[in-house]
Amino acid sequence: MALAPSAASLAPDSADNDGGMHIDAPELRLFVMALFFIFGGITSLNDVIIPKLKELFTLNYMQAMLIQTAFFAAYAIIGIPGAAIVKRVGYMRGAAIGLLTMMAGCLLFIPASGTATFGLFLLALFVLASGVTIVQVVANPLISLLGPAKTAGSRLTFAQAFNSLGTTIFPIVGSIVMLGSLAKVKASDLSGAALDAYRSAETVAVVHSYLGLAVALAIVAGVVWANRNRLKGEHHDHGAVLKSFDLLLRPRFGFGALCIFLYVGAEVAIGSLIVNYMRQPHVLGLSELSAGALIPLYWGGALIGRFIGSAVMRTIDPAKVLAFNAVGALLLIVITTQTGGHLAAGSLLAIGLMNSIMFPTIFTLACEGLGERAADGSGVICMAIVGGAVIPPLTGTLADLTGGNLEIALILPAVCYLVIASFGVYARQRVALHT
């Protein structure tokens, strides 16, 4: 839930020539960008942990996708309380609270592994994502304040690039650490005490990964807390947060919020299926470790596409670019479901390139013309990220109902992209407000 105080609500260290206010604290800018890197990395690690826990707990696809549900449900459940916390304690203290909550979530992986209980893993992921949600309430407006107002957009774009960098790097390390330890024996061949012992032993690799994250989060939280008084005179509007939802009655904004819901859901669902998709004999027939190594190509495509899209949209209507990319993603799904081998694999991974500009472009088009209510719109759209908790398990259910047919399951993300393409066409009207 984005909070954006007016320039007068802060006692600035300096004033721009154009009258904008900013805080002269470049060292904080570096750590906020580090937060974006961690956000992306932690989110993409779910794509690695899904095949790991699916095998260990002999889950079907729908059950495995509950990992994404536990994670992304936090955006809907914690979004409003998180905004209230930040309004009460301020940006820096709010960020510290969020980071410590993330650290607590990482530490919960220890008892989850010790008891070999899938439910505890879901609880750990929910707590971790709750912390991520609170920190994201802070991150965007804070990076905007840490520099001249006229360059706030470039700083946000640069910070989002760090997010994509995290989604590219974390799965590489996660695949080596988590999937590389999969034993020759399968959980489905064991029972009783032997099964419990196998699960505990195999989840140690997961615990080690998240313990490393806990240490890193503790360090960042310490730095943020040491600078908790850096934003002098900070003040927030304490108006009712729930009032923001009346924006959904505006057709343009409501359509855009729906597309954010569908986009995040489709992106997460596809990323979650990559390992199991690549393992299929008619695709590449890879091992878990080898398939996991391909996940960074999916997220890396988003990183590259973000830079390309930024340049393209300087001369081409963003709505046209959005429609083009959504249709491109839809066509890539058709190719990957109707072919096999390297063509099918490459088509699936290339969807990441199409995804690159979707979130910021949908966000911008949906909020266009909101004026003073732009911050309210940002908060509602932040909650729409809960699509990542809904679309993946529905995709998994579709796979289960068709006997594990992942090609049929991809129909649901395809429908999501079709709706997004329709929004791109609709938004070309460039009408400032729809009532």
Pick from 344, 385, 89: nearest CA to 225 = 89
SS3 182: coil
User: For residue 302, is pLDDT > 70?
Assistant: yes
In eight-state DSSP terms, residue 239 is -
Pick from 379, 337, 374: nearest CA to 78 = 379
**pLDDT on residue 262:** 97
Report the distance separating Cα 221 and Cα 353, nearest Å: 33
Written as six digits, the tokens of 204 are 């140690």
Report the distance separating Cα 69 and Cα 382, nearest Å: 16
pLDDT band at 433 (very low <50, low <70, confident <90, very high): very low
**pLDDT on residue 5:** 42
Mean per-residue pLDDT, 285-312: 86
Mean per-residue pLDDT, 53-78: 88
- Per the confidence metrics, is the pTM higher than 0.85? no
φ, ψ at 14 (rounded to 5°): -160, 165
pLDDT band at 95 (very low <50, low <70, confident <90, very high): confident
Mean per-residue pLDDT, 276-300: 91
Q: Which residue has the higher pLDDT, 112 or 8?
A: 112
Mean per-residue pLDDT, 74-97: 83
**pLDDT on residue 155:** 61
CA distances from 106 to 100, 132, 137, 211 (A): 10, 12, 20, 6
Report the distance separating Cα 27 and Cα 33, nearest Å: 10
**pLDDT on residue 244:** 76
**pLDDT on residue 374:** 59
Count CB atoms within 10 A of the CB of residue 316. Answer: 12
Mean per-residue pLDDT, 247-255: 91
**pLDDT on residue 223:** 83
Mean per-residue pLDDT, 213-241: 76
Written as six digits, the tokens of 347 are 């088509």
Q: Tens of pLDDT along 105-131?
A: 999 988 888 787 889 999 999 999 999
Q: Which residue has the higher pLDDT, 325 or 194?
A: 325
Report the distance separating Cα 109 and Cα 88, nearest Å: 30
User: Residue 386: which H helix or E strand, with range?
Assistant: none
On whether the CB atoms of residues 73 and 128 are closer than 8 A, the answer is no
pLDDT band at 34 (very low <50, low <70, confident <90, very high): confident
Cα 352–358–361 angle (5° rounding)? Answer: 155
Quote the mean pLDDT of the chain: 82
> Among 10-14, 91-95, 381-385, which is the least confidently predicted range?
10-14
The label of the residue with tokens 């004026």 reads 371
pLDDT band at 351 (very low <50, low <70, confident <90, very high): very high
The secondary structure of 128-164, three-state, reads: HHHHHHHHHHHHHHHHHHCCCHHHHHHHHHHHHHHHH
Report the distance separating Cα 103 and Cα 111, nearest Å: 14
On whether the CB atoms of residues 228 and 96 are closer than 8 A, the answer is yes
Report the distance separating Cα 59 and Cα 407, nearest Å: 19
Pick from 306, 248, 208, 255: nearest CA to 429 = 255
SS3 431: coil
On whether the CB atoms of residues 279 and 287 are closer than 8 A, the answer is yes
Report the distance separating Cα 107 and Cα 212, nearest Å: 10
Report the distance separating Cα 205 and Cα 211, nearest Å: 10
pLDDT band at 23 (very low <50, low <70, confident <90, very high): low
For residue 228, how many C-alpha atoms fall within 13 Å in the half-sphere facing its CB? 12
Q: Tens of pLDDT along 133-187?
A: 888 877 766 766 676 655 554 566 567 778 888 888 888 888 777 776 555 566 6
**pLDDT on residue 419:** 98
On whether the CB atoms of residues 423 and 417 are closer than 8 A, the answer is no
**pLDDT on residue 20:** 46
CA distances from 114 to 45, 79, 199, 202, 253 (A): 21, 31, 9, 11, 46
Mean per-residue pLDDT, 327-346: 97
**pLDDT on residue 12:** 47
Mean per-residue pLDDT, 274-302: 91
**pLDDT on residue 276:** 93
User: For residue 98, is pLDDT > 50?
Assistant: yes
pLDDT band at 431 (very low <50, low <70, confident <90, very high): very low
Q: Which residue has the higher pLDDT, 11 or 243?
A: 243
**pLDDT on residue 184:** 58
> Among 20-24, 255-259, 288-292, which is the least confidently predicted range?
20-24
Q: Which residue has the higher pLDDT, 174 or 266?
A: 266
On whether the CB atoms of residues 65 and 396 are closer than 8 A, the answer is yes
On whether the CB atoms of residues 364 and 318 are closer than 8 A, the answer is yes
